Amino acid sequence: MRTINHWIGGKAVGGTATAGRTERYGPVWNPATGAQQAEVALAGPEDVEEAVRAATVAFADWSQSSLSARTKVLFAFRELVNAHADELAGIISDEHGKVVSDARGEVQRGLEVVEFACGIPHLLKGDYSDQVSGGVDMYSFRQPLGVVAGITPFNFPAMVPMWMHPVAIACGNAFVLKPSERDPSASMLVAELWARAGLPDGVFNVVHGDKVAVDALLDHPGVAAVSFVGSTPIARYIHQRASATGKRVQALGGAKNHAIVLPDADLDFAADHLVAAAFGSAGERCMAVSATVAVGAAADDLMAVLTDKASRVRVGPGRNPDSEMGPIVTAQARDRIVGLIDAGVRQGARPAVDGRGLVVPGHSGGFFVGPTVLDRVTPHMDVYREEIFGPVLSVLRADTVDDAISLVNANPYGNGTAIFTGSGEAARRFQRGVDVGMIGINVPIPVPMAYYSFGGWKDSLFGDRHVHGADGVAFYTRGKVVTARWPHVDHAAGASYHFPTAS
Ligand code: NAD
């Protein structure tokens, strides 16, 4: 059985066993077959201590390195990630289950953040105001925080960590990543690529683990900031616990993303995109469309095309180039999804397409659930109230666009949303009226480019800064403003004791 260890101080290191302490390991499954393929070391507080210590030592030099030196490493890292993109995608597919082309897309979106971070000299430029007062200038600049931690979910094992570490490291911080224990291997290849790019040992570290490792990071006085992406209950917990120890925190949570379809939309176009957004990556995306709101006369026609397209999605192992949708990450997650579909049907939803009990030939042990479309879903149903995080599209109905907007706004989540319409007026009303952070107009998964920032509202984000883009740079640095005078010294004038005002 392959063992996946931590990466601390520039090399792979064993778990707590190296110091004679109790070892803990977790299983890493192959979701397409249902077999265990590896075990991952689960860090104890001692491993976290070792990683934070290595990062603290590395920070001293890295934070003082020139912008040119940092940029060279980032460009080299960019080239290496690009060269290893297919390998990374394969690793992701094997542990997560998503199809390889989708995994390749996630690597590409992560790479774009690396490319953004290559521009760090420009991004860190401060302001300068000449002569704010007689003989006085004022300027600002930003400095790194120190050791910062990233705690990430299973669903994007390369991209979500890359929302964080390229920006944090470019800003001069040292980074400790605690990736999901369900698909830990991508982070190990990324660590190797950082080392090969010339990043000094200890600037990027990986500790694998569960709540034990997370709590040790949250409580560690040597960690200055925590970036988290995962489910809402854990995001809320991370925000509270890390804030309580004085850390800067951004904690991105779960989602229930609605797509509104108006009767004037091209329904075939909308259905194509809705099916892709609901069932791509088996619905295990924080920006997946899980609720469609059909407005007025759109409903019955939309249901007909959605049903047809959803029934034709090809489900199979992620490594099979013919598969459009892979398995669910674990058996436990699959059972939870099936349980929620059961509850939806019990509570009155109509299963237009039912993915329960799907068996993929040759992969009977795999964790598969087929695409599922539930019609006549209402807001009180569990299938609507819970984030399912699986291939389930709930269809609700509303009389008007304003009713649909009210429905979106009544939902506690506010990550992403989309409208399909031919009306600019309706789209504008929607973009201004929804309490959601990321909005698509005839675009179902409106993930901002790396040079914008990613983040939702309400229960989808705790803290104020979004990730990557300008917000990412602001999150991983703190500002100084300098007021400077280089006076012609007139020894005769002496000091003044009133409050300083511009003269
Ligand atoms: P999760 O919340 O279970 O786990 C996320 C991380 O927290 C993992 O590293 C995990 O080890 C750790 N963790 C889990 N339980 C913990 C606990 N009790 N105490 C401390 N740490 C704990 O999420 P997941 O299942 O890995 O990922 C799916 C979730 O992530 C979904 O809710 C999805 O919407 C969300 N997500 C959100 C975004 C976003 O940008 N808002 C992006 C991707 C995923």
pLDDT, tens digit (0-9, with 9 covering 90-100), for 153-198: 999 999 999 999 999 999 999 999 999 999 999 999 999 999 999 9
ipTM: 0.99
pLDDT at 491: 77
**419 confidence band (pLDDT: 50, 70, 90):** very high
Residues ≥6 apart with Cβ < 8 Å to 446: 287, 416, 418, 438, 439, 440
- 251 Cα: distance to centroid of ligand 1 (angstroms): 10
Q: Is 234 in the pocket of ligand 1 (CB under 6 A)?
A: yes
State the distance from the centre of ligand 1 to the C-alpha of 71, rounded, in angstroms: 31
* Helix, coil or strand: residue 226: strand
Would you say the CB of residue 223 lies under 6 angstroms from ligand 1? Answer: no
Best mutation site among 234, 239, 241, 257 for ligand 1 pocket (most ligand atoms within 8 Å of CB): 234
The CB of 436 under 6 Å from ligand 1? The reply is no
What is the position in ligand 1's atom list of the atom closest to the CA of 235? Answer: 2
Q: Is 195 in the pocket of ligand 1 (CB under 6 A)?
A: no
Output phi, psi for 19, to 5 deg: -100, 15
pLDDT (0 to 100) of residue 15: 66
CA 208–ligand 1 middle distance (angstroms): 14
> Is the CB of 194 inside a 6 Å radius of any atom of ligand 1?
no
Q: What spacing in Å lies between the alpha carbon of 233 and ligand 1's midpoint?
A: 9
From CA 439, how far away is CA 417, in angstroms rounded? Answer: 5
Give mean pLDDT, residues 66-88.
98
The pLDDT of residue 296: 96
Judge if the beta carbon of residue 283 lies within 6 A of ligand 1.
no
| Stretch 446-470: mean pLDDT | 98
CA of 122 to the centre of ligand 1 (A): 33
The residue to which tokens 């940029």 are assigned: 71
Contact status, residue 150 vs residue 176, Cβ threshold 8 Å: yes
Domains of the chain and any CATH numbers: 2-253+460-481 (3.40.605.10), 257-441 (3.40.309.10)
**Exposure b/e, 226-251, CB count within 10 A at least 16 = b:** bbbbbbbebbebbbebbbeeebbbbb
Active site residues: 286
Supply the pLDDT for residue 19: 53
Residue 458 — φ and ψ, nearest 5°?
Answer: 55, -130
Mean pLDDT across 94-109: 98
Q: Residue holding tokens 């507080």? A: 45
Give yes or no for residue 250 CB within 6 A of ligand 1: no
What is the rounded (10 degree) CA torsion for 381, 368, 371, 410? Answer: 30
Residue nearest to atom 24 of ligand 1 (CA): 153
pLDDT by residue (tens digit) across 307-326? 999 999 999 999 999 999 99
Confidence of residue 20 (pLDDT cuts 50, 70, 90): low
- pTM score, whole prediction: 0.96
pLDDT per position as a tens digit, 325-367: 999 999 999 999 999 999 999 999 999 999 999 999 999 999 9
